[in-house]
Structure 1
Amino acid sequence: MHKKFRTKPLISGLFHASMLTALPGTPWAYDLGSVSSGAGNSNEAIPPAESASANAPTQGSLTASEPQSVINRNYIENTQTGASTYVDNAAIAPGVWAYSPNGPGGNENPSLTLRSFVDGQYNVTFDGIPFVDGANFTHHVNSYFLAQDTGEVTVDRGPGRASTVGDATYGGTIAVRSNDPLGDPTATVRSQIGSFNSRLVGFQYDTGVMQNYGDASGFIDYNHYQTDGALTNDNERRGNLFAKFIKPLSENTAITVVVMQNHTYQNDSPGATAPQIAQYGSHYGLNQNPLSSAYVGYNNDNFTSNFDYIGLQTRFGDWKIDDKVYTTIYAHDAMNGYNPNGTTATIQGAYPGGILMGGANPGSRNIAGLTGMTTYTSYGNILRATRAIGDDDLDFGLWIERQLRQSWINNVDLSTGGTGSIVNLPGISNGGNQAETSSMNTIQPYVEYVWRPNSKWSITPGLKFNDFTRTYNSAYDTTVGGAFAYSHSWAAALPSLDAHYYVTDHWSAYGQAAEGFVAPLLFGSFYNQNQPIQPNTSAGLAYLAPEKTMNYQLGTVFKSSKLTASA
């Protein structure tokens, strides 16, 4: 029997809560919705003009306090392939440049530049949770979320308010929001076919609002994607499982559970030289020659990843609480040719086109390559609280995360299946083998006060404190030539101030000053101050200061049912 979708006030708000959590620059950033009229402020209602035409591919926001572009579900669903990622979605926004050399979702090497900041210099969040590879703050895009599980992507061009947490906020934030469950029970079979023998099949089941189970709702989605790739022999296979469930505990409290599991296998080319393109064509990636380090059988990657969280949202009296505990797990098992595109000639017997002959004997047909493994696991919690004080809000919160990382690389003979070491290559000691462990701890408390002198103005000063600690330990570090370890902490106080003004219901303006931060990279945290660093000692070691930026920005947004414009 078909049941009518019955929406409680809390559910109506919760379907938008994760979206609002992902928008670091909005005055209503952590609103649970119209849970009750007794909490929050009368000035806090989102203006009706916020619902602009769904056909606009990228839109500003009337509530923004710094330049934003919102890419909505309508655009994602109607223009992106099922294998697309947030890189492909965000590419439509002004100031964003992105490319996927092997086709959308076709390999693990897409690139996105946000107003000249490259990956590792900007923040990415999913439902308000930052996720990052702590070695260099980059994001393994293909190891996480598919387009059909994405509800919205917001490109935020600036460090945001104090409440914008993350390890690399100074270039901006790309906030990805998960898709919402449907209101009615629905089964969806998905099939897509595209160029380069690309094909995707998937199945999604939405429970609808289950009145017999306390109005719980959710969906589970599985997709399998594979492609021969736009580049020769750059194949990929990917399986992705995503599930989201929301369970009201009362009229004012609900719990959200999100689970994501992904496995990707790919043959991946680092690119081609001009002579290779001239000889083999612009689509050249890998070849079928076992005597070349660009042989498809020598260049493969296995990625497995998880992204899971449990979120609790509640509202009582003048308080709103949003807490998420989460974990991310990432593993990359790799085999790669040492010099697949033939640009490096440091190895004995390197030839153009990537054909390498090395090893102890100059005449041997050893194919130099690398095998390696990188894994990291992050555990964290992000707590946000809002206390209504008259027409104003006091916002404060705490983000804490610990990431444990392991990595090893071996220099091997690929012609033996990666089982034999090549230890006598010029310029490579210890066979080029390296293994290390590292960790990073991040603690970011923040506080903001949203002052509303009247219904048109909101002025928000804020302060965030960033405490970041790295540890590193290697039994043999190739840059040092022996055992090496270090541990260091960096800290910074990051202020922000913005003012927001409603000119009319359809027109707003803002001004902002905010400071951003990114800590030094794992392999770039120190430099030689007086002398070369020696194994087992920190003599001559000096630590780099964190990179910081101060942003000053002015803007205005106009939105109506037929037009959205920003400057």
Structure 2
Amino acid sequence: MKKQANNFKLHPIFAGMAMLGLVLPHSAFAQQVTDVGIVNATGGTGEATNPKNYDSVKLSPVRTSLDVARPVAELSQEYIDNFTAPMSNFANIANGMLPGAYGISSNGPGNNDDKIWFRGFKDGNWTMTFDGIPYNDTNDPTHHSQAFFPAPFIGGITSDRSPGTAASIGPANFGGTVGLLSRPVDNEHRVSAFYNFGSFNTNEYGMELATGYLENAPATKILFNIHHMDSDGAQTYNRQYRDGASFKLESALTPDTTMTIFASWVHYLSNSGGTIQPSTYAVYTIPGAAAAVPGNYKGDLNYYNSNNPARADYLGYNNYDVTTSFNYLGFKSNLGDGWKLDNKTYFNYYSNQQNYANISAPDQTSASLLASSKPGVDKLNSYHTMGNILRLSKEFDIGTLRTGIQTERSDTPRHQTYVNYITGQQASGGVIFNEDFQTTILQPYAEFAWKATKELTVTPGVKYNSFTHSLTQYADSGTVGNLGGAPSVMNSRTYTDVLPFLDARYMIQKNWSVYAQYSTGDLIPPTSTYDVSGSLVGTLPDPMKTKTYQIGSVFQTPKYSVDFDVFQTNADVSYSSQVVNGVTSYYQAPATTYKGVEGSGNVMLARNLNLYLNAMYYSSTYDTTGLSVANVPQDMETIGLFYRENNWSLGGTVKRIGAMWQDNTKATQINQAYQLDPMILTSLSANYMFSEIPTFVKSMKLRVGIDNIFDNRYIAAVKFGSATSVLGASSTDTVLYTSGRSLYAGVTGNF
């Protein structure tokens, strides 16, 4: 069917942006995240007989698939747009409903660098992607939720609670994959303007322009988004500012080839720099002793910074400035004779500049800190990454061949230097570290989905991983030392692994599948393994590896859909070291075993009323001691009730995060030092769309919501001040609390 072009012409500014996207060098980390085609889809072929078109699937906030042999879950754009706070970051969105994921918001939705724990693995032990392209820090594969992709950029979230298949490219896929999707490009012309406001004096406003198919390029359409957000934050004097813009172009170059250009930019400022404890955590001893100088309100669970320049934790001494950019050029083509091509060339950029007071005591005065040799820190974390992901597939009568390769190169200059945090001049404490390193990644793979019978598909595959770090470390005041007078030292290392995969899926009926999977994964050690005296390393640690075994099933009907899985992951995910004659050697630490049972379901209680539930039960223990891994909840449960009728969308959720242990990192024996109580997170949201307005406004959407309805405050993390501390016994013990009740409201007009 021929596409209908509208009268919107390509303005020169958008033409220029499109050309910019074409000529920019493109790169980043790469993995084809599992998008089974239902995040933004209205349904599948086959009309009502296709399970993808069942109401229990389409109207579920979390969707699963019969088509893959592993536990996948997808949050739809409709869920994000109607049932999450509009100023959220991806961690806040995932925490609400995504199975196996939890995160803690300490400064209100979207107001912090919040993290996700996924299936018991911490951030950095699983891969994150955007439109199938992995992205992360380069010293280790961790992520920053306040930077690259805020809510206005996100059109869905997918996840794979397994190392995936051979095609699951990424730096740490052994813990699974969480994939963000860009917003879909409208077929019709639309201009939307929005304003959202909420608790903690939070304001967000912006606009989105969809050109629809262009008059002078009828196979091309563009989506452009720009926004601003500012907030005082839930924590004291932890202010946040964010500006962002994204651009996406889709064009059918030929009947068989489409092109996508995506470009984004985010600038983020806050008073939540790298200040070490206790400023990052509220002091536990409440009300505690009188402060040395006024300003430390120990009775305030939100305590973060003060507004008193005489205090070392004054907000003006704690600055955080981040700029990010993410861009790619993609082509999809039907090459004929069953061959298909999917190629993405990408570039991303990250610059994190921090200047902060080097606080070491809860009530430290600015004068006493400035009198020391290490009063403040100038910190730079930055990188730019370029790469390409080529994917090819070939359909045969007996199955499908999938093969491809990721290539990537990144450069990472980083430093930390002691400075006077008022003048910015270097302090006598010297340089903490100064380094520059390059990372080269090569990941080819191949797999074959063999149709053994009409009902049974067996997919073996293999992936080869090669990661090379070339690290230059400059002489400093303690990390590597003076290097015997040499200006720098260089080390290069290459890690390689061959990772096999095998899964099988059997269709009992067209709406009922069972599967089994064996998958492997790895994670290269961080660059910090060379952060030792003289950078002298005798034996490097091996890549940390996992083996995962799991079985599961998916069953879908028009009235309800259910899925469950059982898994075990054997993980060599840590290492220890010893120093002999000044040379550091690493060896593998005892293994860890992760086990779990996961299930979810969606029930249509009425035509427009559905009930969603999921539950996870986890056991994560060290093999030698039987003690629990920190920050892994014993269980998680979520229940959500959603109603849609005419122009109304109403929803409410309750999520319980079970008890989990905290370690004392000051002690030799660190495990199970303190157990956090279970946390219960609640939310309500309501949306109404005015669709018949006798003005130039085509429609208007009003939305209101509330998070943490009962204003519950939980201890979400603990830091002990000494090896012998019992929480609260020392004034240096600190804790992190969840933020309180948060309300929001917003209006979006479509023109």
Residues 495 and 525 of structure 1: CA distance in aligned 2, closer, same or farther (over 3 Å): farther
Shift of 1:369: 1.3
Shift of 1:280: 3.7
Preserved contact between residue 5 and residue 215 of structure 2 (Cα < 8 Å): no
Query: Pairwise mapping of residues 403-442 of structure 1 onto structure 2 (< 5 A)?
Result: 403-414=410-421, 416-419=422-425, 421-423=426-428, 431-442=430-441
Specify the alignment match of 1:543 in structure 2. Answer: 540
Residues 558 and 213 of structure 1: CA distance in aligned 2, closer, same or farther (over 3 Å): same
Specify the alignment match of 1:320 in structure 2. Answer: 340
TM-score in terms of structure 2 length:
0.64
Specify the alignment match of 1:443 in structure 2. Answer: 442
Distance 1:509 1:443 in 2: 33
Preserved contact between residue 82 and residue 192 of structure 1 (Cα < 8 Å): yes
Paired residue type of 1:522 = T
Specify the alignment match of 1:333 in structure 2. Answer: 353
Output one character per residue of 1:440-473: Cα deviation in whole Å (capped at 9) or x when no partner: 1110000001111233221110000000111211
Paired residue type of 1:329 = Y
Preserved contact between residue 83 and residue 105 of structure 1 (Cα < 8 Å): yes
Preserved contact between residue 358 and residue 367 of structure 1 (Cα < 8 Å): no
Is 1:555 equivalent to 2:561 in the alignment?
no
Q: Which moved more, 1:228-237 or 1:207-216?
A: 207-216
Distance 2:397 2:59 in 1: 38
Specify the alignment match of 1:296 in structure 2. Answer: 315
Shift of 1:189: 0.3
Provide structure 2 residue ranges, at least 5 long, that are not aligned to the other structure: 7-29, 273-278, 289-297, 484-488, 565-751
Output one character per residue of 1:90-134: Cα deviation in whole Å (capped at 9) or x when no partner: 211232111121112102x20110011011100001111000101
Distance 1:320 1:213 in 2: 25
**Equivalent position SS for 1:353:** coil
Is 1:282 equivalent to 2:301 in the alignment?
yes
Paired residue type of 2:482 = G
**Equivalent position SS for 1:316:** strand
Distance 1:71 1:299 in 2: 36
Query: Pairwise mapping of residues 81-160 of structure 1 onto structure 2 (< 5 A)?
Result: 81-91=85-95, 92-107=97-112, 109-160=113-164
**Equivalent position SS for 1:523:** helix
Preserved contact between residue 242 and residue 258 of structure 1 (Cα < 8 Å): yes
Distance 1:187 1:326 in 2: 28
Output one character per residue of 1:540-562: Cα deviation in whole Å (capped at 9) or x when no partner: 52111000000111111122333
Preserved contact between residue 33 and residue 131 of structure 2 (Cα < 8 Å): no
Shift of 1:359: 7.1
Specify the alignment match of 1:513 in structure 2. Answer: 518
Preserved contact between residue 55 and residue 74 of structure 1 (Cα < 8 Å): no
Specify the alignment match of 1:10 in structure 2. Answer: none
Distance 2:372 2:396 in 1: 75
Distance 2:249 2:557 in 1: 33
Paired residue type of 1:57 = P
The structure 1 residue matched to 2:267, chosen from 254, 263, 269, is 263
Preserved contact between residue 123 and residue 174 of structure 1 (Cα < 8 Å): yes
Residues 358 and 47 of structure 1: CA distance in aligned 2, closer, same or farther (over 3 Å): farther
Shift of 1:292: 2.4
Shift of 1:147: 1.8
Preserved contact between residue 466 and residue 495 of structure 2 (Cα < 8 Å): yes
Paired residue type of 1:487 = S
Distance 1:277 1:501 in 2: 61
Distance 2:46 2:451 in 1: 10
Is 1:468 equivalent to 2:487 in the alignment?
no
TM-score in terms of structure 1 length:
0.85
Specify the alignment match of 1:495 in structure 2. Answer: 500
Shift of 1:241: 0.3
Preserved contact between residue 115 and residue 144 of structure 2 (Cα < 8 Å): no
**Equivalent position SS for 1:76:** helix
Distance 2:176 2:49 in 1: 26
Is 1:203 equivalent to 2:207 in the alignment?
yes
Specify the alignment match of 1:36 in structure 2. Answer: none
Shift of 1:563: 2.1
Paired residue type of 2:456 = W
Distance 1:390 1:44 in 2: 22
Q: Which moved more, 1:549-558 or 1:469-478?
A: 469-478
**Equivalent position SS for 2:80:** helix
Specify the alignment match of 1:182 in structure 2. Answer: 186
Paired residue type of 1:320 = K
Distance 1:143 1:60 in 2: 28
Specify the alignment match of 2:379 in structure 1. Answer: 372
Residues 106 and 292 of structure 1: CA distance in aligned 2, closer, same or farther (over 3 Å): same
Preserved contact between residue 357 and residue 366 of structure 1 (Cα < 8 Å): no
Paired residue type of 1:335 = N
Give me the identity figure in percent. Answer: 28
Is 1:220 equivalent to 2:224 in the alignment?
yes
Provide structure 1 residue ranges, at least 5 long, that are not aligned to the other structure: 7-20, 34-42, 345-350, 424-429, 527-532
**Equivalent position SS for 1:50:** helix
Instruction: Please tell me the root mean square deviation across aligned C-alpha atoms, in Å.
Output: 2.6
Preserved contact between residue 392 and residue 450 of structure 1 (Cα < 8 Å): yes
Residues 391 and 434 of structure 1: CA distance in aligned 2, closer, same or farther (over 3 Å): same
Distance 1:277 1:257 in 2: 55
Distance 1:434 1:480 in 2: 8
**Equivalent position SS for 1:180:** coil
**Equivalent position SS for 2:163:** coil
**Equivalent position SS for 2:285:** helix
Preserved contact between residue 33 and residue 178 of structure 2 (Cα < 8 Å): no
**Equivalent position SS for 2:78:** helix
Residues 243 and 541 of structure 1: CA distance in aligned 2, closer, same or farther (over 3 Å): same
Preserved contact between residue 188 and residue 204 of structure 1 (Cα < 8 Å): yes
Residues 522 and 367 of structure 1: CA distance in aligned 2, closer, same or farther (over 3 Å): closer
Preserved contact between residue 247 and residue 262 of structure 2 (Cα < 8 Å): yes
Paired residue type of 1:247 = S
Distance 1:233 1:534 in 2: 38
Q: Which has the higher strand share?
A: 2
Aligned length: 509
Residues 369 and 505 of structure 1: CA distance in aligned 2, closer, same or farther (over 3 Å): same
Preserved contact between residue 357 and residue 375 of structure 2 (Cα < 8 Å): yes
Specify the alignment match of 2:406 in structure 1. Answer: 399
Residues 44 and 64 of structure 1: CA distance in aligned 2, closer, same or farther (over 3 Å): farther
Specify the alignment match of 2:50 in structure 1. Answer: 48
**Equivalent position SS for 1:431:** strand
Paired residue type of 1:457 = L
Paired residue type of 1:262 = V
Distance 1:55 1:238 in 2: 32
Residues 354 and 61 of structure 1: CA distance in aligned 2, closer, same or farther (over 3 Å): farther
Q: Which moved more, 1:483-492 or 1:460-469?
A: 483-492
Preserved contact between residue 31 and residue 134 of structure 2 (Cα < 8 Å): no
Distance 2:127 2:265 in 1: 22
Is 1:480 equivalent to 2:503 in the alignment?
no
**Equivalent position SS for 1:148:** helix
Shift of 1:534: 5.0
Preserved contact between residue 163 and residue 396 of structure 1 (Cα < 8 Å): yes
Shift of 1:352: 3.5
Shift of 1:487: 1.0
Preserved contact between residue 411 and residue 439 of structure 2 (Cα < 8 Å): yes
Paired residue type of 1:553 = Q
